[in-house]
Amino acid sequence: MTAWITRLVLLSGLIAALVFFHHSRAHRPPRVDAAREKGILLVGNGSDPATLDPHLATGTPEHAILDSIFEGLVAATPEDPDANGHGAAERWETEDFVHWTFHLRKNARWSDGAPVTARDFLFAFERILTPALGADYAPMLYPLRNAEEFNTGKIPGFQEVGASAPDDHTLKLVLKGPAPYLLSMLKHYAWYPVPRHVIEKHGKMTDRVSPWTRPGNLVGNGAFQLREWRLTHYVSVERNPHYWDAGSVRLNGIHFFPIVSDSTEERAFRDGQLHTTLTLPLAKIPLYQRQHPDLLRVDPILSVYFYRCNVTRKPLDDARVRRALALAVDRSAIVENILRAGQKPAHGLTPPGSSPDYTTPDVLRFDPEKARALLAEAGYPDGRGFPRFEILINTNEAHRSIAEAVQEMWKKHLKISIGVRNEDWGVYLDSQRKLDYSVCRAAWQGDYLDPFTFLSMWKTGDGNNNTGWGSPAYDALMDASSREPDTTRRMAQLQEAERLLLDELPMLPLYWYVHTWLKRPEVQGWPPSLLDHRCYKAIHFQESGRR
């Protein structure tokens, strides 16, 4: 009897404790309010970053964090993040868009207090271009004279690359052809400086795995500095007291949360755990449009959603098969019935807005009859004998919804059976690089305002190609456009290259994005950006009108 009484008392105590816990949880203020009081911004960031090394990063989760802890020669401005503001360089000049001179700030410092010099930029350029590092984004620096030749081993020394530092605060760049869009390119993390004194302290320049990017070791030159990186939990950054414009930084810190599921992210936002999300579940868009338009952001963005094709695998080594797959997709049905936020069917690769002088070739249309004829011509009439393969996606409800829609369209119009394979972000990236897939979901966001940012990646051997496809004719057109001084002729060369690409179709464009996400009204200083640039030092909380 005594034992039972003891158990009953313990159980009653446990129940009381649980009731108290849930009561206190229900009545405590949301995390966003507590964070706001401390000046901390809580943002959804999709996935854990694969790396915080600017020369090895390739994805959106890395981009968002790196922009807070590093700064290039050119930076986003508070009013227009796509404008070319002054970053580590306080001014620059060029007369022909080939020869550029950048004058660095004498008060620029790394987050450990060491001065940022022109030689740090030279070290960074040499590092990303050194073949042993294997940087996927090395081609971003190919506008530099001899950069491609050095990166591909055709010339042995970096000293022949068009970059020099006459003194600590002067950086000279010589390009292989005129590039009026260079300033926009320089805001990409591939061009960021990295701290030589820190990298070499923790290993060799070309080490792909190095402790230099860990908390306590990583040194940046941006408005914030790395504080914590708790895998699967968050990455936190805090004010960098050595930043040249530290007085203008309005937040005390930012926490980036790797929430893979967009439904989980939306629920965290609704429960007061996030100030902003990275995205929004497709099914929730109409609800927010009707009931919470003050929380919903639908911003134009320079980005395309597409499927890569591994052309080294049968039957995708046949361009007729790839074209059949492309023509059997009803893009209008996808954007109208699944996405429903103003996305546009992609009739080509390059999204509108990359340049006022460029018109994307209008090539791809929904044509199931022609698709069936092409598939039959390739040896698979009515889908007979067609090998089964899978669409590789990274974990995300929207990617699965789109893949299942495409899967059904190919089954209906081509009578072929296709599966869907899901992998977490890091594994997915690795599978893509190793060509361990047949068809792979992908997206490309413009790195700068020029169609070259969407077309250059398909050159033979480019680190972001990841399809096994290459064409000497395509490469020649892209190389010619890099040296062409006349804008009209240059755009014509790029259009011809895109037509060739859309004829071969190593990738299948599906739609052009808009950025659909959630933001609390108290978060200010975050204007729309076609390139998804953020001027972090200008983001702040409004003084009144809290939610």
- What pLDDT, in 10s, does the model give residues 303-335? 999 999 999 999 999 999 999 999 999 999 999
Would you state the structure tokens that stand for residue 84, as one six-digit string?
């070319």
pLDDT of 544 reads: 52
Report the SS3 class of residue 186.
coil
| 394 in any annotated domain | yes
| 431 in any annotated domain | yes
pLDDT of 59 reads: 83
pLDDT tens sequence across 268-300 = 999 999 999 999 998 899 999 999 999 999 999
Environment class of 95 (CB within 10 Å of its CB; exposed 0-12, middle 13-18, buried 19+):
exposed
Report the SS3 class of residue 393.
strand
pLDDT of 340 reads: 86
The arrangement of strands across the sheet holding 507-518 comes to 344-345, 507-518, 296-309, 439-445, 390-394, 419-423
Whole-number mean pLDDT of the chain? 92
Average of per-residue pLDDT across 101-111: 98
pLDDT of 313 reads: 96
pLDDT tier for residue 19 given thresholds of 50, 70 and 90: very low
Tell me the residue ranges of DSSP E strands in 138-278.
163-167, 170-174, 224-230, 234-239, 253-257
Report the SS3 class of residue 46.
coil
Least confident of 19-33, 364-378, 406-420, 490-504: 19-33
Find, among 399, 499, 505, 404, the residue nearest to 443 by Cα: 399
pLDDT tier for residue 426 given thresholds of 50, 70 and 90: confident
Residue pair 324/371 in contact (Cβ under 8 Å)? The answer is yes
Domain extent, residue 194, equals 60-255+519-541
Residue pair 166/119 in contact (Cβ under 8 Å)? The answer is no
11 has pLDDT over 70: no
Residue pair 312/435 in contact (Cβ under 8 Å)? The answer is yes
CB-based contacts of 8, cutoff 8 Å, min separation 6? none
18 has pLDDT over 80: no
pLDDT tens sequence across 331-360 = 999 999 999 889 999 999 999 989 999 999
Give the CA count within 13 Å in the CB-facing half-sphere of 33: 11
Task: Kindly give the residue spans of alpha helices, DSSP state H, lying in 146-235.
Answer: 147-151, 182-185, 196-199
454 and 392 in a common domain: yes
pLDDT tier for residue 483 given thresholds of 50, 70 and 90: confident
329 and 209 in a common domain: no
pLDDT of 21 reads: 37
Residue type at position 15:
I
493 and 368 in a common domain: yes
Residue 336's domain is classified under what CATH number? 3.10.105.10
What total number of domains does the chain contain?
Answer: 2
Report the SS3 class of residue 386.
coil
534 and 395 in a common domain: no
The CB-based long-range contact list for 196-203 (8 Å cut-off, 24+ gap) reads 196/119, 196/120, 196/123, 197/114, 198/110, 198/112, 199/127
Residue 103's domain is classified under what CATH number? 3.90.76.10
| 34 in any annotated domain | no
CB-based contacts of 21, cutoff 8 Å, min separation 6? none
Environment class of 168 (CB within 10 Å of its CB; exposed 0-12, middle 13-18, buried 19+):
middle
Report the SS3 class of residue 175.
strand
Distance CA 282, CA 305 (A): 15
347 and 425 in a common domain: yes
CA angle 354, 134, 439 (to 5 degrees): 60
pLDDT tier for residue 208 given thresholds of 50, 70 and 90: very high
Give the predicted TM-score (pTM) of the model. Answer: 0.83
| 453 in any annotated domain | yes
Find, among 524, 522, 520, 519, the residue nearest to 539 by Cα: 524
Q: Is the dihedral of CA 383, 385, 387, 390 positive or negative?
A: positive
| 151 in any annotated domain | yes
Length of the chain: 547
pLDDT of 22 reads: 42
pLDDT tens sequence across 120-167 = 999 999 999 999 999 999 999 999 999 999 999 999 999 999 999 999
CB-based contacts of 365, cutoff 8 Å, min separation 6? 327, 347
pLDDT tier for residue 23 given thresholds of 50, 70 and 90: very low
473 and 419 in a common domain: yes
Q: State residue 368 phi and psi, 5-degree precision.
A: -60, -30
| 53 in any annotated domain | no
25 has pLDDT over 70: no
Distance CA 58, CA 152 (A): 19
320 and 247 in a common domain: no
Distance CA 456, CA 477 (A): 10
524 and 376 in a common domain: no
190 has pLDDT over 90: yes
| 511 in any annotated domain | yes
Kindly state the helix (H) or strand (E) to which residue 541 belongs, with its residue range: strand 540-541
Average of per-residue pLDDT across 420-430: 92
pLDDT of 205 reads: 96
355 and 246 in a common domain: no
247 and 169 in a common domain: yes
29 has pLDDT over 70: no
Kindly state the helix (H) or strand (E) to which residue 345 belongs, with its residue range: strand 344-345
| 287 in any annotated domain | no
Distance CA 454, CA 445 (A): 8
pLDDT tens sequence across 503-545 = 999 999 999 999 999 999 999 999 999 998 999 999 999 975 4
Task: Kindly give the residue spans of alpha helices, DSSP state H, lying in 256-396.
Answer: 262-270, 285-291, 319-327, 331-334, 368-377
534 and 502 in a common domain: no
146 and 66 in a common domain: yes
